[in-house]
């Protein structure tokens, strides 16, 4: 880890090393992990970095400390690790731009599938929800992701969105009418107009991605 200099990168190294250790040692929920001193020696980092990494993992519910017994694995779930690592990845501007682009591409694919396969009743229910409630942009596209029939695409959207963290209340340049226009084109099975509305009126971009 000698090549890492910033405290955040050292912190990330510790998290990655902990994950590798758990996999290499075939540790399971309920198993005890080494002490701070042992981890510090094993990873060749300061105990303060190990302590911060363990604290973060404990706050996420991945490990638990039992007084007088030690630290134990609770549930090393992928989606929670994503949340933790994302806080570091997002410090890189290029990564932020790549995430935003990836999120757009996934949303466009979801829109295409909805345009072809969603029932008119499903789209009309979504239109009624838009008219009735205030919501975040992420709330809207979560419903689009769920409505698309590809469950893997929905899961990928959830993971990418957990990194991107671009939620904003429907306000400013994006109005309910923009979402309703998008849904109207989906209802009419006009994929091209739906995507054009998405890019220009909702994402404020040119049609080409």
Beta pairing, strands 32-33 & 63-66: unpaired
Q: What is the mean pLDDT of residues 99-106?
A: 90
Is the pLDDT at 203 greater than 70, yes or no?
A: yes
Phi and psi of 63, rounded to 5°?
Answer: -135, 165
Q: 35-88: per-residue pLDDT in tens?
A: 999 999 999 988 888 888 888 777 766 788 888 889 998 865 544 555 555 555
The pLDDT > 90 percentage for the chain reads 37
| 8 Å CB contact between 11 and 49 | yes
pLDDT in tens, 20-32: 888 788 888 888 9
Whole-prediction pTM value? 0.58
Helix (H, G, I), strand (E, B) or coil at 65: strand
Alpha-carbon distance of 135 to 4, in angstroms, equals 41
Per-residue pLDDT at 167 exceeds 60: no
CB 200 within 8 A of CB 136: no
Q: At what angle do helices 176-187 and 93-117 cross, to 10 degrees?
A: 40
């Amino acid at each position: 880890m000698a090549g890492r200099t910033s405290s955040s990168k050292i912190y990330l190294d510790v998290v990655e090393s902990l994950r590798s250790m758990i996999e290499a040692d075939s540790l399971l929920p309920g198993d005890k992990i080494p002490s701070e001193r042992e981890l510090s020696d094993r990873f060749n980092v300061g105990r303060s970095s190990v302590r911060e990494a363990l604290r973060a993992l404990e706050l996420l519910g991945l490990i638990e400390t039992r007084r007088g017994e030690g630290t134990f694995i609770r549930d090393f779930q992928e989606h929670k690790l994503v949340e933790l690592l994302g806080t570091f990845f997002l410090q890189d501007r290029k990564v932020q731009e790549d995430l935003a682009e990836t999120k757009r591409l996934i949303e466009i694919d979801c829109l295409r599938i909805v345009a072809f396969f969603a029932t008119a009743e499903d789209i009309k229910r979504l239109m009624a929800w838009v008219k009735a409630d205030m919501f975040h942009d992420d709330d809207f596209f979560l419903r689009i992701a769920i409505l698309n029939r590809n469950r893997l695409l929905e899961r990928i959207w959830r993971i990418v969105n957990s990194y991107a963290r671009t939620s904003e209340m429907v306000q400013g340049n994006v109005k309910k009418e923009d979402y309703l226009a998008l849904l109207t084109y989906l209802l009419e099975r006009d994929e091209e107009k739906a995507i054009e509305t998405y890019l220009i009126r909702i994402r404020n971009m040119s049609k080409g991605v």
